[in-house]
Chains A and B, each alone.
Chain A
Amino acid sequence: MITDFEVLETMKMFTEQHLDIRTITMGISLMDCADEDVNKACDKIYNKICRYAKNLVQVGEDISRKYNVPIINKRISVTPISIVAAASKTDDYTPFAVALDKAAKTCGVNFVGGFSALVQKGYTKADKILINSIPQALATTDFVCSSVNLASTRTGINMDAVKDMGEIIKKAADLTADRDAIGCAKLVVFANAPEDNPFMAGAFLGPGEPECVINVGISGPGVVKHALETVKGKDLGVVAETIKKAAFKITRVGELVAREASERLGVPFGIIDLSLAPTPEVGDSVARLLEEFGLEECGGWGTTACLAMLNDAVKKGGTMASSFVGGLSGAFIPVSEDEGMIAAAKSGGLKLEKLEAMTCVCSVGLDMIAIPGDTSAAVISGIIADEMALGTFNNKTTAVRIIPVPGKTVGDEVVFGGLLGSAPIMAVNNSSCANFINRGGRIPAPIHSMRN
């Protein structure tokens, strides 16, 4: 029998503490959509997505109604388009992005991810075309997200691609300059990209994934913060235990929703991504959660230690709650999407260099950070290279989603709206790394990649 206390605790999680299922993401393989004729390939892609995902939104809403659990996003991830489009005779993949966008609109989903390429060791011809198509593709579509995997622990870092992506990010910003460079908010570069991640902008369906699969991303920094408020002043062992328990409960909601969605859609359940994903709303912030550990402001000394412990405890609690945990799974630290991060960045207490340190122990990377529009492509590549090195050499996923906003500089602010939030422009160390970036080639895989 469920007790009244448990019922009320659950109610409060969903109402006051902003617990929600952040996304149900349907992964759809597009491997069989390749065609020499671009238009035919695009038609196949549109038709297949619409066929597989036609009930996705309805099923999400039904489950939400049954449990009175908010399910914020319904999304689609697809096979990296560079693989699907390789057969087509064209030098511009923008039409593929348009087809994805059209399918997303027909199905009523919030985003479709997979305008992607996996180039950690080198380019195919198609990878090169895809990367060159990214700025135009993001400028002409609304719901398409793009990602590029530039590095992995097994292969090292593709520095040619790191250089190119610095320039592509600048171009994507320029082409969407009238909308505060929103194109860059839909573009992320990775080291060790997970192939089953349900979160945007980095969702795609990796080559080792099944025909169709349901992956669910949960949220809930507010729930963990609330739990910590009940153990003020207690030692850190108690804190870890408290986080684990909260993460367990959150993950179980995700597991329930994932299993039910999978059953209703007749599609296998893939993984739960047990990430703490913040939103710009008050009470839904990872920064405020870190401050609950005992920090005056997120970004001060001690922040990295708190984040490391938080990330680890979330994983421990979550893996107990579901046998199939994957994706990014950990705490997200996107600046513009987190009320507390925005405040700390505005006050000057949270700097880019501290965020870089934090990415060593969180689940993603430098995320949703607005920087001056006049930052050079080489410096952006330098930022990417550092982040790729952290991921590659520490055997973890790292990412960069950075937005050089044309015409804006430190002291200005950008507003993207919705879940993407708003951000102050953060200062960048502009000391040149151009000669390093221009060397090109590959940074070899670290010694500990040889585990066979």
Chain B
Amino acid sequence: MDKNNAIITVLGHDRVGIIAAIANVLADSNINIKDISQTILDDIFTMVMMVDLKDVKIEESDIVDKLNKLGDDLGVKITIQHTDLFYAMHRI
């Protein structure tokens, strides 16, 4: 996959402002949201977000730390992972 996309996952309890807060952090880092889906799985609120990283490299930017901190503030677990991982594992 040559696209520089990532999946952001949010797991925890639903509350007002999760998407807004994450969108703010991403906008600050110049990361564009392409798709969002929400679901309740095993009683856990789950949000999966596909983002376009453009020129941002996850490992070189502070996006992981920012999302970790936001997750702590909101009481949810936020993870960002490059999409190559999912394509490698789930597509032949």
Chain B hits for A252, CB < 8 A: 88-89
Report yes or no: B37 in contact with A4, Cβ–Cβ below 8 A. yes
> Is B84 positioned at the interface, with any CB of A under 8 Å from its CB?
yes
Interface of A is mostly: helix
> Is B90 positioned at the interface, with any CB of A under 8 Å from its CB?
yes
Number of A-B contacts (CB under 8 A): 62
Report yes or no: B84 in contact with A67, Cβ–Cβ below 8 A. yes
Report yes or no: B88 in contact with A256, Cβ–Cβ below 8 A. yes
A4 CB contact (under 8 Å) in B48, B59, B85 = B48
A11 CB contact (under 8 Å) in B11, B57, B87, B88 = B11
Give, as a whole number of angstroms, the nearest-CB distance from B10 to chain A: 11
Number of residues of chain B lying within 8 A (CB) of chain A: 26
Chain A hits for B37, CB < 8 A: 4
> Is B58 positioned at the interface, with any CB of A under 8 Å from its CB?
yes
The answer for the CA separation of A61 and B59 in the assembled complex, in Å, is 8
Report yes or no: B59 in contact with A66, Cβ–Cβ below 8 A. yes
Interface string of B47-61 (1 = CB under 8 A from A): 010100000011110
> Is A6 positioned at the interface, with any CB of B under 8 Å from its CB?
yes
Chain A hits for B79, CB < 8 A: 11, 68
> Is B29 positioned at the interface, with any CB of A under 8 Å from its CB?
no
Report yes or no: B58 in contact with A249, Cβ–Cβ below 8 A. no
Report yes or no: B90 in contact with A63, Cβ–Cβ below 8 A. no
B positions within 8 Å CB-CB of A: 7, 9, 11, 37, 39, 41, 46, 48, 50, 57-60, 64, 79-90
A positions within 8 Å CB-CB of B: 2, 4, 6-8, 10-11, 61-63, 65-69, 249, 252-253, 255-256
Leading 8 A-B pairs by shortest Cβ distance: A62-B59, A65-B59, A256-B88, A2-B86, A67-B85, A252-B88, A68-B81, A249-B89
